[in-house]
Amino acid sequence: MHNTRLMVSTGQHFNSAHEVLQHIGARMVEEGICHASYPAALLAREATYPTGIALEGHAVAIPHCEAQHAIEPAIYLIRPEKAVKFQQADDDEQVAAELIIALVVTHPQQQITLLRTLFSQLQQPECIESLLSAPAGALAACFNQRLYAPAA
């Protein structure tokens, strides 16, 4: 997981989850991280299996799709200008995602491991607080520190 490319975007305005997903899809293809099939696969996966997650006092979305669309592993952190409504993963409700963590993996097992690690870390209120409050230039370092820090 340590050879995963980490990209960050902060302060962008999005009107909808669909718009965020289109942005992610285009950026991943443009960067050479994913095949041309990725944008449509990402949208289809989100429509079938929503990725919005309600946390204590906050919400995130972790969009991802099948490894076959990936060329290289990457994580794209997006901290939008204002929260974006995503369909909740385990409910019919929507959540206002303040942080979007797009995952691109090349092996399905990596995805399961990464999702477990992310979910475990995001359950800790100080983790999500630090990711939401870190200066834009320090967000990647903050994320790496949280994600790859040894489990306490």
Per-residue CA distances from 147 to 17, 127, 150 (Å): 24, 9, 8
Q: Which amino acid is at 17?
A: A
Residues identified as active-site: 64
How many other CB atoms are found less than 10 A from the CB of residue 88?
18
CB 142 within 8 Å of CB 77: no
Q: Beta strands 59-61 and 74-79: pairing type?
A: unpaired
CB 37 within 8 Å of CB 62: no
